[in-house]
Amino acid sequence: MLDLLGIVILFTIVAAIVAIEMRDILGVVIAISAVGTGLIIAFFFMLAPDVAIVPIVVEVLTLVILVKATLRPELKTFVGNRDFFGLMVTVAMLLVVGILGMRVFDGLPRFGVPVFASAPNTPGMYYVTNGLRDTGAANIVSSVILDYRAYDTLGEATVLFTAVMGAIAIIRKTARKAPSEPEVSEWQD
Amino acid sequence: MAGLGHGGMTPVVRTTAGWMKGFILVFGLYIVAYGHLTPGGGFAGGVILALAFVMLVLAGGRERLPRILSLELVAELDSIGGLIFLGIAMLGMLPGLGGVFFNNFVVKSLHIGTPFHVVSAGIIPLCNISIAIKVASSLFLLFMLLILLRGVYTQEDTRA
Amino acid sequence: MMQILPLFVAIPLGAGFLIPLVGRRNPRLCDALGNMTMLALLAMAISVIGKQGVYWVGGWLPQAGIPLGINLVLDGASLVMLLTITTISFMVTLYSIQYMDRYTSRSRFYSLFSLMVAGMIGVTLTGDLFNLFVFLEIASIASYALVAFGTQHEELEAAFRYIVLGSVGAALILFAIAIIYALTGSLNMAGISRALGTSPKPIYFFAVAMFIAGFGLKAALVPFHTWLPDAHPSAPAPISAMLSGVLIKTLGIYALARVLFNAVGMTPLFLDVLLVLGTLSIMVGVLLALGQDDIKRTLAYHSISQMGYVVLGFGLGTRLGIAAGLFHLMNHAVFKTLLFLNAGSIEYATGTRDYNKMGGLRSKMPVTAATSLIASMSISGIPPFNGFWSKLFIIVAAVQAEKYGYAAWAVVGSILTLASFTKLQKRAFFDEPKEAAKVAKEVPVFMKASMIGLAVLCVLMGLLWLPRIQEGFFMQAAKSLQEGFEYATHILGQ
Amino acid sequence: MHYALCLVLFMVGLYGVLVKRNLIKIIVSLVVMESAVNLFIVMVGYRLKGIAPIMDSTIPPDQFVAASVDPIPQALVLTSIVIGVGVTAMTVAIAMRLYERYGTYDIQEIRRLRG
């Protein structure tokens, strides 16, 4: 019983395998953007336009960065796995966990019948019912991320800020100096 | 894409990019401003704004950027965006505005706005704007760091 | 509503945003801002001792038992963590004033440091599962960057390994959170404990296994420890001290305990898993530590081993066991920070971390030698220092719970720890001076001040186990974890 | 069924992280893992024959409540995507720095060169 969504996810899985196993780095980058595309289509199918719009733009940026970071003429491509024994152990372990997980996943509420709609008193139901009245935002997702759970969004903005600070710190030209030397600018322009 | 930083791509690409940048900027601003009514919001809008500048750099090299848009300024905007967001959250703690961290004081204490209208949802659009500033500058900065500054540092910096 | 609770997160966040803005041209201003922030946090943490409270962010009080917003919870356990984090952060920033003269970009350092502290405090205080994940990621990302702060070969490689395993851990935690949400429709820990009920399905155990693996990766419990011995020694000394001293405890052990005890529910099975993980960590950590020559690497392996004691205490599941575990967590934060700062001082003075190249530092660096001796005795469990009391009571709790085998392993681990530190002390401070030690001289004043402060704490913290303080502080903290689902009643009402 | 496919995607990513030697491949595998988790979270809130959680003056409120998908998972995914971008950017930065130092993306080669 595969519907359209299932096919999209299967496509994503295939693209992911290709991305991980491919030899050519450019191919890897293209395959990973196919994974992103699959994800976006799946989000649209699952009625999450707010979510879908973000990966679309993020995907473009990531793609540009990955292409620029990885594509250089002198880059040697290679197929590399860890040693054979470790590989087999890892694969066996993952298979066991995966098969176990699949059996166990039957315990989840059936797909398409989320618990928030059936169980009494869930926050999700409250937001859908009272979101507009409480916050004045017609987009309930907006009212969740910027009002009910705005504290999370502050954290999210901070994560991005931290990543930028970290990237600047990692990329900076000189990291160490003698104690007597003055500070140097980290911008190389 | 080999010529980055030395003038960019062909004139056709550069001219098109020049025309496009206005549209992309307006579209980004729209996504930010209507984030509380339609899909989108500060994050998506911020990325689109960043992409407008990324496109300029990709097409025309660094020289095509406005002179004042130095990386230092972008980094400062990044901090400022974060501070504005935190400031809006802290404003809610003032006694007259509800006295709670992240209080949506515009709706709950000042009662401004009508549903389905641009002026609605209280602090949500304000937060969207601050997030857009933050995200746009963060991502643009990440792009510049990872793309253009690569290879500037040399092996001599390494002290074993 | 305790108005002070959101400030615990907002102040370091604000400092993190502000420092790169104002301090780039003026390194001394960064020092001042960073230290003042940490001092303010410490003062605030001291001011809330003995208080309890719940704060609903955004004023979204629960309606009819539905938790609407995100809540911050101050109870016994989060108070212990709060005091530990703020004390250690202040001591470390004090030390960094002069230590970081060796590095550039001081504004980035303090910014990342403040953000890391904000992340850890956020994890400590939050009552919401997803919010815990977000703050855990803030602290983790800041720590990835700080490990690579020196941007040398070793640091970059260690940071890469750390970031990859850290991301795997984060993905596991997020997956588990999603499963729990799918089962309960709630993200609030109190709401989850209400909704989960008493009939666990297999999927529930799958989610808990993911939580244990994810938080175990963040806490570097054996067998998830492989990143730690690379990452902790590579960072600048103040950061090694923070990572070993508080980061792995907050993101790993405290978060795991909070989720298991108060949100998804503790069962005898999970307690047994914790006991086994704890004992494995004790033995593997200390045995690997014995074979090291690098002083910071030795300390990093000891962190794994000492975390084993804390997990062992928690795994006993008794009031005394949890209280002793929390006490050891606090003590370990103090003496391990001190040891890493000592190691940093030695590296600052001699330029090497290999203790076979040192020797005779006792006369050259009296303050470092004396404080290091105190910390070593403390970690090895020699009375009357703080480490002795917490280890003793973990073992007592194990005996009381009739887990004699685990108690015996804990004793053996303690003896091996003593052996390892005797070797370290002898080689570094007492033997004949080698080449690298001849030019050494004592470190500058702020570094000394910070080490002396921590050494004093090492001596005095044994007093915290006096019956009255212990009853009001650690037992209270253990109670807030052990009471499990009662937690929900405090937060959501009846 | 759909949930299990998500788990498969997650396992594919985990396999890549554990087995691959190329830094770029490891980063790609991390991205795959994050994608799997994000997909799973959105699935959790999906309702068959539902509508997007955006109100409109044309839909009557009670009909909206009866059909809207869960807004919380969507909010969570937005946050987790951003976190993913941050982590990926940092990882790429470190990988590029390593490449500058060693001239290779092979993790074993790097370890060997370090000695």
Whether residue B108 is predicted with pLDDT greater than 80 in this model: the reply is no
* Average pLDDT of chain D to the nearest whole number: 84
- Chains that contact C by 3+ CB pairs under 8 Å? A, B, D
Question: What is the share, in percent, of chain C residues with pLDDT greater than 90?
Answer: 45
- Judge: D89–B39 Cβ closer than 8 Å, yes or no: no
Cβ atoms C323, C475 nearer than 8 A: yes
Question: What is the share, in percent, of chain C residues with pLDDT greater than 70?
Answer: 99
Contacts of C1 in chain B (CB under 8 A): 99-100
Cβ atoms C288, C301 nearer than 8 A: yes
A181 is written with which tokens? Answer: 């030397």
- Judge: D79–C170 Cβ closer than 8 Å, yes or no: no
Q: What is the distance between the alpha carbons of residues C117 and C86, in angstroms, rounded to a whole number?
A: 8
Contacts of A117 in chain D (CB under 8 A): 47, 70
CB within 8 Å of C287: residues ≥ 6 apart: C416
Give the H/E segment covering residue C74. strand C71-74
Contacts of C103 in chain A (CB under 8 A): 175-177
Greatest mean pLDDT among A116-120, B71-75, B104-108 lies in B71-75
Greatest mean pLDDT among C129-143, C437-451, D60-74, D87-101 lies in C129-143
Whether residue C247 is predicted with pLDDT greater than 90 in this model: the reply is yes
The more confident residue out of C47 and A75 is C47
User: Longest Cα pair distance anywhere in chain A, in angstroms?
Assistant: 71
Beta bridge partner(s), residue D68: D51
pLDDT tens digits for range C27-38? 888 889 999 999
Compute the average pLDDT of residues C335-344: 92
- Which residue from A minimizes the CA distance to B5? A189
Binned at pLDDT 50, 70 and 90, residue C147 comes out as very high
In chain C, residues 18-37 whose CB comes closer than 8 Å to chain A? 20, 25, 27
Q: State whether residue B38 sits within 8 Å of chain D by CB.
A: yes
Mean pLDDT lowest for which of A58-67, A73-82, B1-10, C121-130? B1-10
The more confident residue out of A159 and B108 is A159
A183 is written with which tokens? Answer: 């500070």
Size of chain D, expressed as the number of residues it contains? 115
Contacts of C17 in chain B (CB under 8 A): 79, 82-83, 86
Domain boundaries, chain B: 11-151
Question: CA C478 from chain center: how many Å?
Answer: 17
pLDDT tens digits for range D24-53? 888 889 999 999 999 999 888 888 878 888
Q: What is the distance between the alpha carbons of residues C27 and C345, in angstroms, rounded to a whole number?
A: 21
Domain harbouring D23, CATH code: 1.10.287.3510
Compute the average pLDDT of residues C104-133: 92
- Judge: B43–D82 Cβ closer than 8 Å, yes or no: yes
Taking each helix axis from N to C end, the angle separating D71-102 and C153-184, rounded to the nearest 10 degrees, works out to 170
D22 is written with which tokens? Answer: 């190329």
- Chains that contact B by 3+ CB pairs under 8 Å? A, C, D
The more confident residue out of B55 and B64 is B55
Closest-CA residue to A186 (of A177, A178, A173): A173
- Judge: D14–C168 Cβ closer than 8 Å, yes or no: yes
pTM (2 d.p.): 0.93
- Judge: A169–C149 Cβ closer than 8 Å, yes or no: yes
pLDDT of res. C474: 85
- Judge: A64–B58 Cβ closer than 8 Å, yes or no: yes
3-class secondary structure, C199? coil
Contacts of B158 in chain D (CB under 8 A): 101
- Smallest Cβ distance to A6: which of D1, D69, D75? D1
Compute the average pLDDT of residues C474-478: 85
Instruction: Please identify which residue in the block is written with the tokens 């704060």.
Output: C55
Tell me, what DSSP letter sits at residue C263? Answer: I
Binned at pLDDT 50, 70 and 90, residue D105 comes out as confident
Cβ atoms A85, D19 nearer than 8 A: no
CA distances from C406 to C383, C401, C412, D4, D16 (A): 22, 10, 10, 39, 37
- Judge: B122–A135 Cβ closer than 8 Å, yes or no: yes
Whether residue B152 is predicted with pLDDT greater than 50 in this model: the reply is no
Contacts of C157 in chain D (CB under 8 A): 98, 110-111, 114
Question: Computed from CA positions of residues A27, A32, A37, A38, in that sequence, does the dihedral angle turn out positive or negative?
Answer: positive
- Which residue from D minimizes the CA distance to A81? D20
Q: What is the distance between the alpha carbons of residues B100 and B123, in angstroms, rounded to a whole number?
A: 13
- Judge: C10–B86 Cβ closer than 8 Å, yes or no: yes
- Residue numbers of the domain that contains D42: 2-114
pLDDT tens digits for range C64-103? 778 888 889 898 889 999 999 999 999 999 999 888 888 8
CB within 8 Å of D89: residues ≥ 6 apart: A65, A163, A164, A167, B142, B146
- Judge: C58–B90 Cβ closer than 8 Å, yes or no: no
Q: What is the distance between the alpha carbons of residues C334 and D115, in angstroms, rounded to a whole number?
A: 34
CA angle A98, A103, A108 (to 5 degrees): 110
- Smallest Cβ distance to B146: which of D54, D78, D92? D92
- Judge: D72–C187 Cβ closer than 8 Å, yes or no: yes
Q: How close is the nearest chain C Cα to the Cα of A7, in Å? A: 22
- Which residue from A minimizes the CA distance to B84? A154
Whether residue B110 is predicted with pLDDT greater than 70 in this model: the reply is no
- Judge: D93–B116 Cβ closer than 8 Å, yes or no: no
Contacts of D16 in chain A (CB under 8 A): 20
pLDDT tens digits for range C441-450? 888 888 889 9
Q: State whether residue B117 sits within 8 Å of chain D by CB.
A: no
CA distances from C280 to C10, C304, C413 (A): 38, 10, 10
Strand C71-74 relative to strand C53-56, pairing = antiparallel
What ipTM was assigned to the predicted interfaces of this complex? 0.91
Contacts of A148 in chain C (CB under 8 A): 58, 60, 68-69
CA angle C307, C319, C472 (to 5 degrees): 100
Q: Per-residue confidence of chain A (189 residues) as pLDDT tens digits?
A: 458 888 888 999 999 999 888 877 778 888 888 888 888 888 888 887 777 777 777 777 777 777 766 666 555 555 556 677 778 888 888 888 888 888 888 778 888 778 777 777 788 888 888 877 777 777 888 888 888 888 898 999 899 999 999 988 888 877 777 777 776 666 644
Q: In total, how many domains does chain D have?
A: 1
Closest-CA residue to C139 (of C56, C273, C30, C248): C248
Q: State whether residue D96 sits within 8 Å of chain B by CB.
A: yes
